[in-house]
């Protein structure tokens, strides 16, 4: 074993000094390689972290939501629907929620208004997200002007601004009291935006959903799983979109790598001939080329991963924000919780390191099987 390690050490040693001879060429290759790994890893980390964040947020979401639909569009739902749903066996509780989107012509942004279930703000006061605060240049105790459903303008005072830790979900949020909400959106006392249900046994979800659809044909039922699935699809789609764009870069890299790795230069062929002539076996030459490929691809891989980590988790994926976060006006400023899975790293490894190493070995193997007497002929 010791002898085996000695042999590997000497061959690695020669490989490294051999690589250093072509600093410019190998340096450029490592640079491009690192960039490709960095971009791919950034997309993967970003999408995974967002998905994870979303699923954590949705964990606390209600199992079932019932909305009223009028000619295919959402409408407010009468609160007496809640009483009728409560009578269905298996339903633990039904509560009306008040929320809605408000378009602010000043900033061109949409705010999400919501009446929180627990400790809502006092009448005339609101709690706003950082994004709203930034967009309107307002802070605590400032007044904010809103135009109600009937065109009447009225002011609300900012009681609190959300902390930046929760910004990913609270950036565009405005928490408001029930009275103010109804005045702003024109929702009657007997109505809510939608109903949230708690179900005793999760296995009965689909049965209860079906019963509601039969009982109240002007409603639609949304399950938590469906929301999770939609989130997953949205992030996958956006991630996929970026990967498609990256694909061009990836192909260019593949051509470069193949050309570099497969097209051995005359100088390299001569060197392989010399090594064989002085007593190296074909397997020794292949081992050297394997270490060469590994040194380039592994160093690029690790540097790329490291840069992507910094990019996604410290700089909030600055390069991909526009694509991955959608077209929101109020970009949240936030830090994603670092999350990397072995599966992700494994996929990336097999996409980058393995093909390159193979591309290095195959042509060397072909070159290494030639008769060493070629060097004697100059």
The residue (of 151 and 378) whose beta carbon lies closer to another protein is 378
* Neighbouring C-beta atoms of residue 84, cutoff 10 Å: 13
Minimal distance in Å, beta carbon 366 to another protein?
14
Output the smallest distance, CB 368 to another protein, in A: 10
C-beta of 337: minimal distance to another protein in Å? 46
Q: Where does residue 113 rank: exposed (0-12), middle (13-18), buried (19+ CB within 10 A)?
A: buried
Alpha helices (H) along the chain = 2-21, 23-59, 80-86, 130-136, 167-170, 178-185, 205-215, 224-262, 266-277, 282-309, 321-324, 342-368
CB of 33 to another protein, least distance (A): 22
Minimum CB–partner distance for residue 25 and another protein (Å): 12
CB atoms within 10 A of CB 244: 9
192 neighbors 67 (Cβ within 8 angstroms): no
Exposure string over 180-201, b if 16+ CB within 10 A, otherwise e: bbbbbbebeeebbbbbbbebee
Q: Which is nearer to another protein, 17 or 119 (CB)?
A: 17
**Site residues (CB under 8 A) for another protein?**
3-4, 6-7, 9-11, 13-14, 17-18, 21, 267, 271, 274-284, 369, 371-373, 375-378
Q: How far is the CB of 34 from another protein (least distance, A)?
A: 24
Nearer to another protein, 7 or 229 (CB): 7
Nearer to another protein, 23 or 203 (CB): 23
Among residues 286 and 296, whose Cβ is nearest to another protein? 286
For 258, counting Cβ atoms within 10 Å of its Cβ (0-12 exposed, 13-18 middle, 19+ buried), the class is middle
Concatenate the DSSP letters of all residues of 260-302 into one string.
Answer: HHHS--HHHHHHHHHHHHTT--HHHHHHHHHHHHHHHHHHHHH
Least distance (Å) from another protein to the CB of residue 5? 10
Judged by beta carbon, residue 277 or residue 295, the one nearer another protein is 277
Q: Which is nearer to another protein, 16 or 318 (CB)?
A: 16
């Amino acid at each position: 074993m010791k002898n085996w390690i000695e042999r590997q050490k000497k061959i690695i040693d020669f490989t490294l000094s051999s690589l250093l001879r072509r600093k410019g060429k190998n340096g450029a290759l490592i640079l491009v390689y690192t960039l490709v790994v960095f971009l791919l890893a950034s997309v993967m980390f970003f999408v995974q972290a967002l998905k994870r964040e979303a699923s954590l947020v949705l964990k606390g979401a209600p199992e079932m939501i019932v909305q009223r639909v009028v000619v295919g569009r959402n409408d407010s739902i009468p609160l007496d629907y809640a009483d009728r749903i409560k009578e269905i066996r298996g339903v633990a509780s039904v509560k009306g929620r008040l929320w809605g989107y408000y378009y602010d012509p000043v900033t061109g942004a949409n705010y999400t208004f919501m009446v929180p279930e627990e400790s809502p703000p006092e009448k005339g006061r609101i709690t706003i997200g950082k994004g709203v605060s930034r967009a309107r240049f307002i802070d605590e105790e400032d007044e904010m002007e809103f135009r109600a459903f009937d065109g009447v303008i009225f002011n609300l005072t900012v009681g609190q601004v959300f902390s930046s830790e929760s910004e990913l979900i609270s950036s565009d949020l405005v928490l408001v009291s029930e009275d103010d909400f109804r005045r702003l959106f024109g929702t009657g006392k007997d109505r809510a935006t939608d109903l949230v249900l708690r179900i005793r046994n999760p296995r009965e979800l689909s049965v209860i959903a079906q019963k509601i659809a039969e009982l109240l044909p002007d409603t639609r039922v949304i399950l938590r799983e469906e929301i999770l699935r939609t989130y997953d699809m949205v992030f996958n789609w956006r991630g996929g979109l970026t990967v498609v764009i990256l694909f061009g870069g990836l192909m260019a890299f593949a051509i470069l790598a193949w050309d570099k790795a497969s097209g051995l230069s005359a100088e390299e062929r001569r060197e392989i001939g010399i090594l064989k002539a002085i007593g190296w076996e074909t397997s020794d030459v292949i081992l050297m080329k394997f270490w060469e490929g590994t040194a380039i691809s592994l160093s690029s891989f690790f540097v790329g991963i490291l840069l992507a980590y910094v990019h996604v988790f410290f700089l909030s994926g600055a390069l991909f924000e526009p694509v991955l976060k959608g077209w929101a006006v109020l970009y949240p400023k936030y830090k994603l919780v670092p999350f990397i899975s072995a599966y992700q790293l494994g996929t990336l490894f097999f996409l980058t390191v393995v093909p390159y190493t193979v591309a290095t070995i195959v042509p060397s193997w072909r070159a290494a099987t030639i008769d060493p007497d070629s060097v004697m002929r100059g």
